[in-house]
A and B are shown apart, each in its own frame.
Chain A
Amino acid sequence: MALSHVFESPVPGFNFENSTRNLLLEDALGEGKSNAPKPLKTGTTIAGVVCKDGVVLGADTRATSSEVVADKMCAKIHYIAPNIYCCGAGTAADTEKTTELLSSNLTIFSMNSGRNPRVVMAANILQNMLFRYHGAIGANLILGGVDCTGSHIYRVGPYGSMDKVPYLAMGSGDLAAMGVLEDRFKPRMEQEEAKTLVRDAIRAGIMSDLGSGNNIDICVITSKGVDYIRPYQESEYKDNRQKKYKYKPGTTPVLCEKVVRLELELVHETVQKMETS
Chain B
Amino acid sequence: TMEERPNHQYKGVSTGTTILAVQFNGGVIIASDSRASMGGSYVSSKIINKLIQVHDRIFCCIAGSLADAQAVTKMAKFQLSFHSIQMESPPLVKAAASVLKELCYNNREDLQAGFITAGWDKKKGAQVYTVSMGGMLISQPFTIGGSGSTYIYGYADAKYKPDMSREECLQFTTNALALAIGRDNVSGGVAHLVVITEDGVEHVLIPGDKLPKFHDE
Q: Which residues of A contact B (CB under 8 A)?
A: 13-14, 16, 19, 127-128, 130-131, 134-135, 155, 157-163, 165, 175
Contact = CB atoms under 8 A, between A and B. Distances in A.
Interface stretch (B23-31, B63-71, B145-153): B63-71
Given A13-B106, A14-B107, A163 B48 contact: yes
A158 B12 contact: yes
Interface string B64-91: 0111101100000000000000000000
A160 B48 contact: no
Nearest to B36: A163
Interface of A is mostly: loop
B110 interface: yes
Contacts, number: 56
Contacts of A16: 107, 110
B24 to A, nearest CB: 31
A135 B110 contact: no
11 contacts: A16-B107, A127-B67, A127-B71, A128-B71, A130-B67, A131-B67, A155-B45, A157-B13, A159-B65, A160-B67, A160-B70
Contact of A161 (B47, B66, B111): B66
Given A131-B71, A165-B45, A14 B11 contact: no
Most buried by A among B44, B47, B65, B106: B44
Contacts of A160: 67-68, 70-71
B13 A161 contact: yes
B73 to A, nearest CB: 11
Nearest to A131: B71
A19 B107 CA distance: 13
Contacts of A127: 67, 70-71
Contacts of B13: 157, 159, 161, 163
B45 A14 contact: no
A132 to B, nearest CB: 9
Interface of B: 11-13, 36, 42, 44-45, 47-48, 65-68, 70-71, 103, 106-107, 110-111
Q: Across the A-B interface, give the 5 residue pairs with the lowest CB-CB distance, nearest first.
A: A159-B12, A159-B67, A160-B67, A161-B66, A161-B67
A176 B44 CA distance: 14
A131 B71 CA distance: 7
Q: Which of B13, B67, B110 is packed against the most chain A CB atoms within 10 Å?
A: B67
Nearest to B47: A165
Contact of B110 (A19, A161, A162): A19
A17 B12 CA distance: 20
Contacts of B48: 163
Contacts of B66: 157, 159, 161, 163
Given A14-B107, A14-B110, A127-B70, A163 B45 contact: yes
Contact of A14 (B36, B42, B71): B71
Contacts of A130: 67
Contact of A157 (B12, B103, B110): B12
A163 B66 CA distance: 10
Contacts of B47: 165
A16 B141 CA distance: 36
Given A14-B71, A131-B67, A161 B107 contact: no
A157 B67 contact: yes
A272 B150 CA distance: 83
A13 B104 CA distance: 11
B12 A135 contact: yes
Contacts of B42: 175
Contacts of A161: 12-13, 65-67, 70
A131 B111 CA distance: 11
B45 A159 contact: no
Contacts of B107: 13-14, 16
A127 B47 CA distance: 19
A158 B70 CA distance: 13
Nearest to B15: A161
> Which of A131, A134, A158, A163 has the largest number of chain B CB atoms within 10 A?
A163
A159 B71 CA distance: 10
B145 to A, nearest CB: 19
Nearest to A16: B110
A14 B103 CA distance: 9
A171 B31 CA distance: 32
Contacts of A157: 12-13, 66-67
Contacts of B12: 135, 157-159, 161
